[in-house]
Amino acid sequence: MSTFQIANLADIAEFEKVPLEKRLTAFHTYHLLQEGASINPDAPAISFILSGENYSKPTHISYRDFWAQINRTANLFYDMGIGPRDVVSYLLPNLPHTHYVLWGGEAAGIVNPINPLLEPSTIREICQAAGTKVLVALAEFPGADIWPKVMSIRKDLPNLKGIIRVMGPSDEKEGIYGYDELVARYNGQKLDSNRQIDPLDTASMYHTGGTTGIPKIAPHTHFNEAAMTFMAQLVGDFHPGETILCGLPLFHVNGTIVTGSMPFSLGAHVVILSPRGYRDPTIMQNFYKIVEHYRAVTFSAVPTVLSVLLDIPKGDADISSLRYAICGAAPLSVELFQRFEAHSGMKILEGYGLTEGTCASSVNPYHGERKVGSIGLHLPYQKMKIFILDDKDQFVREAETDEIGSVCIKGPNVFSGYFEEVHNRGVWPKAGWFNTGDLGRQDAEGYFWLTGRKKDLIIRGGHNIDPLAIEDPLYRLGGIQVAAAVSRPDPHAGEVPVVYVQLHENASLTPEQILDYLKNHIGERAAIPKDVYLIKDMPLTPVGKIFKPALRWDAIRRVYEAELQALKTMAQSVEVQVGEDRLHGTMATLTIRPQPQVHREQIEAGVSEILGRYPVRYRLEINPNNA
């Protein structure tokens, strides 16, 4: 691949003069991975670290073995009756096996990665909607509950023909097949099916957004994934043989594309940071040593990860090999950005993407100007625009420079619609243009800035939470009149869910009782609210809908007021007001009356120290008067 260096929109326009079809050498994932494996079959494809304490003693998989395992896995699935339209779902942590199942599954049929941390009822809904024919899952392990979940739902899946148990034995009478004992029997050189993959064949089906009701499933074609892989190659200087760290989960497109198909297509080296990835505290404690040992050049992360790494001493570890870290999925505060760069000495490239776009849509350029707080420039061969839409999400016009509107994307990586047609209403304001549901603006130099989310998803450390996952169970609890779940800013996770509740007139529920109830009735642990706020009247729009922005502003106010109590030795009073801002979407206005002899600079430094890790912008007003 010819080197391409993004510095500005003009560079992207120049690069796009050659049609994408002439730049792509592989139009489906099987061919794409075959190309990467052929560069140097003896080079390491994967190094798997079992835990942070044993980072220097990994399991190595060469490209020769990696390619053979993909073929064997595809042929195993074919032997089980999987064809181009059949679905293989998997519930696996981050393992080499996960990549074999993912890419072998795409070569045989359609792969449906599922978050193994979801509750059984949610997993059941996804498998039923997808029509799962083969389910792959991790065997029984201490501390892991994947296998009991599979056993509890298997009889509820009418299309299920068999279960493959990874790292466990077969029980063929029960329709259970041990992956490790069977896969070696199959041909590792080619596909026994002799399948000719059409680039427009469905390769994968990722679940996204909410996990209650009908699951939202986003299908990707082979061409979607091949195009996205190529685009990911263009984000920064990454070359064959170099090392990338994988700590994000392999049920998410960032983990599977940016730290999967992209490096594999280049014959690069992927280090899998334990089965739990960044959730493994031993990995985080040894992160800088791992970078030094493997001479890693990049990794992908969410703000939560950077926040944790900021508090871990770098010591004498040589991490000069790291050129940049890609950060997305949740808001990143300017203060955290600056502190982490100073702490680590590397660049952060903030980006933006979503499952419906097969991963990434924009990024700050590695070779050009990075604007802190922005999500950068659109990627080559992909379009991103701000549209002004009407009340029915229909196109009205393109937004002016710095005018806030709906962020919409179009390109060869963008899916063609959700699996269930009910979810496709109102998401296509113009032909081929997908409405992300996010609000943003584009500045005069082409950089995009997010200002809010119209679709109200709560993103906790990169984990998408549908408010309905919290609100629906509440309406089954007696005494609840109205309930609304929104995000509250959090210095660690970016944001966390909280819920506002208006009780019936004679109800006597307490916040503690409501929270205890939710802990037992929510299908996602990440969706359990951090707080329950009882309010007298729910804010409503003129047409009677809940006005959630007012609740988010109130949640921000509560957090900032609580945090700023730390200024009580310097301030006589602190007042926080939060509301809409034309340029930034949301703004907190802090009005502080200092104690005598306390100077403005001291107040400014104190506020910056306290609120620096929060992504919501603030405006500081110092009021020296007693009024």
CATH of the domain at 85: 3.40.50.12780
| Together in a domain, 127 and 236 | yes
| Together in a domain, 339 and 466 | no
Instruction: Give residue 613's domain range.
Output: 554-622
Residue type, 298: T
> Where is average pLDDT lowest: 270-279, 294-303, 411-420, 448-457?
448-457
- Residue 609 falls inside a structural domain: yes
| Together in a domain, 56 and 135 | yes
Residue where a domain terminates, one of 437, 467, 482:
437
| Together in a domain, 279 and 134 | yes
Residue 40: half-sphere exposure toward Cβ, Cα within 13 Å: 12
- Residue 548 falls inside a structural domain: no
- Residue 174 falls inside a structural domain: yes
Residue 212 has pLDDT above 70, yes or no: no
Q: What is the dihedral of CA 406, 407, 412, 415, to 10 degrees?
A: -60
Q: Which residues, in sequence order, are CB contacts of 396 under 8 Å at separation 6+?
A: 387, 388, 389, 390
pLDDT of residue 96: 98
Residue 330 has pLDDT above 90, yes or no: no
Residue where a domain terminates, one of 538, 563, 586:
538
pLDDT digits (tens, 9 = 90+) for 584-599: 888 999 999 999 989 9
pLDDT of residue 122: 87
Q: How far apart are CA 221 and CA 433, in angstroms?
A: 17
> Where is average pLDDT lowest: 86-90, 276-280, 422-426?
422-426
Residue 373 has pLDDT above 90, yes or no: no
pLDDT of residue 215: 62
| Together in a domain, 560 and 532 | no
| Together in a domain, 173 and 276 | yes
Q: How far apart are CA 377 and CA 446, in angstroms?
A: 6
Mean pLDDT of 311-334: 86
Residue 581 has pLDDT above 70, yes or no: yes
Residue 627 has pLDDT above 60, yes or no: no
Residue 145 has pLDDT above 50, yes or no: yes
| Together in a domain, 232 and 131 | yes
pLDDT digits (tens, 9 = 90+) for 520-554: 998 788 899 999 999 999 998 765 678 899 999 99
Residue 376 has pLDDT above 60, yes or no: yes
| Together in a domain, 244 and 172 | yes
Percentage, residues of the chain above pLDDT 90? 74
- Residue 520 falls inside a structural domain: yes
pLDDT of residue 441: 95
How many separate domains does the chain show?
3
| Together in a domain, 571 and 512 | no
Mean pLDDT of 347-358: 94
| Token pair recorded at residue 494 | 């970016």
Distances (CA, A) of 513 to 477, 519, 520, 531, 534: 10, 10, 11, 11, 12
- Residue 442 falls inside a structural domain: no
**At 506, is the secondary structure helix, strand, or coil?**
coil
Query: Which spans in 9-119 are helix H?
Result: 9-15, 20-23, 29-39, 63-79, 96-108
- Residue 445 falls inside a structural domain: no
Nearest in space to 46 (alpha carbons), one of 93, 110, 1, 94: 94
| In contact, 570 and 602? CB cutoff 8 Å | yes
Confidence of residue 213 (pLDDT cuts 50, 70, 90): very low
| Together in a domain, 466 and 374 | no
- Residue 23 falls inside a structural domain: yes
- Residue 446 falls inside a structural domain: no
Residue 624 has pLDDT above 80, yes or no: no
pLDDT digits (tens, 9 = 90+) for 414-445: 999 999 888 898 899 999 999 999 999 999 99
pLDDT of residue 210: 42
| In contact, 16 and 453? CB cutoff 8 Å | no
| Together in a domain, 145 and 282 | yes
Residue 463 has pLDDT above 50, yes or no: yes
Residue type, 282: T
Percentage, residues of the chain above pLDDT 70? 97
| Together in a domain, 65 and 146 | yes
